[in-house]
Amino acid sequence: MPLSQNPIVDWPTELQPLLQDMQIVTGPGGQRYGRIDIDVDRETLFLLNEFEARVRHRQVRIRLADSAECLVGEMNVLVGLGAAADPARHVGKVRISFHDLQD
């Protein structure tokens, strides 16, 4: 099935709080992308990896906090950024990011 025919996948509601402070940036070519670096616990890391594998090469619908607005884009591979700020509660820091964001 061509990528254009794959259904859009909604970002999981249980992971919605992770994107609350996501930064949306417009690159030099006019394409928008979003990213956030966040500490995660073991269960959240598992859920993120599972979701990222399921939506690879598919578009994801992201509902922005405190808004009816949605963005659609492709999720990038999770990037491990090292130790968490609070290692007693979290296993590490990851970057969640999306490219080609559209309204």
Contacts of 60 (CB under 8 A, 6+ apart): 8, 9, 10, 11, 72, 73, 74, 75, 98
- Contact 44/19 with Cβ under 8 angstroms? no
Average pLDDT over residues 86-92: 93
Assessment of whether the complete model's pTM goes beyond 0.95: no
Q: What is the pLDDT of residues 22-40, one digit of tens each?
A: 999 999 989 999 999 999 9
What is the C-alpha R_g of the chain? 14
Element (DSSP H or E) covering residue 9: strand 9-10
Q: What is the pLDDT of residues 39-73, one digit of tens each?
A: 999 999 999 999 999 999 899 999 877 677 899 99
Phi, psi of 54 (to 5 degrees): -70, -30
User: Residue 2: is its pLDDT beyond 70?
Assistant: no
Average pLDDT over residues 96-101: 95
User: Residue 3: is its pLDDT beyond 70?
Assistant: no
In terms of Cβ atoms closer than 10 Å to its own Cβ (0-12, 13-18, 19+), residue 23 is exposed
Average pLDDT over residues 1-23: 84
